[in-house]
Structure 1
Amino acid sequence: MPNVQERSQDKGMAKHVRLRSKGQVTIPNEILEQLDLTSNTNLKVTVVDGRIVLIPMIEIAKDQAWYWTETWQQDEKEAQQEIGRGMTSGPLAVEDALAWLEADE
């Protein structure tokens, strides 16, 4: 590979690759292994501050997608905050749970 000047100051685990026809690049094996990526891994491609960024993505089953909605994640965050502030009670006995449910009617 010819001498190529780096345009950024980030020296991390930088490796040089070449852009091939059809916009293809080969990600070095060291990086694939470090991130546990395989040939069928989906990657999100974006541009951040003039850099191409590849973000590994996972597939979520359709029947579990509701959990990852913005609304559900906000509710989860609020629940975790309430737990952290001690605003929850321990589990109820069956009789207590039934009485609580009947009281709300």
Structure 2
Amino acid sequence: MTLPESVAKVLGVAEGDDLEFTIDESGTITVRGWTSIPTDQRWFWTPEWQAGEAEADQQIANGEVSRGFTSAAEMFADIDNDEDV
């Protein structure tokens, strides 16, 4: 299916992407871009996980990060000593 560029941009789709069409009881047709997620990765897209991702993004933006660990043990020790946990 060929879409006008402006429509594809609003839908957030590109060539080869899937579309979903729905028709409501009044006959209105809704079109939206569709992305399927493999079942073994759906946990990442749960509201709870996405809330954690948003929180981490905000912490990074605020500079609330530790850097420069020389080992995984050092990193985990820092996590264990974090007062916010």
Tell me which residue corresponds to 2:50: 73
Q: Which residue identity lines up with residue 74 of structure 2 in the other structure?
A: D
- Structure 1's 42 and 88: CA in aligned 2 closer, same or farther, altered over 3 A? same
**How far did 1:83 drift?**
0.3
1:77 and 1:46 map into 2 onto residues whose CA distance is 33
Task: Give, in whole Å, the separation in 1 of the partners of 2:37 and 2:22.
Answer: 18
Q: Map 1:17-96 onto structure 2 (within 5 A).
A: 29=2, 31=3, 34=8, 35-37=14-16, 41-43=18-20, 45=22, 51-94=28-71, 96=74
After TM superposition, give the deviation of residue 55 of structure 1 in Å.
0.6
Aligned residue pairs, count: 70
Q: Deviation at 1:96?
A: 2.3
Q: Which residue of 2 aligns with 1:97?
A: 75
Q: Which amino acid aligns with 2:35?
A: I
Q: Deviations over 1:46-66 (max 9, x none)?
A: 66xx95321121111011000
Higher relative contact order (CA 8 A, sep 6+): 2
CA RMSD of aligned residues (A): 3.1
TM-score for the superposition, normalised by structure 2: 0.61
Larger radius of gyration: 1
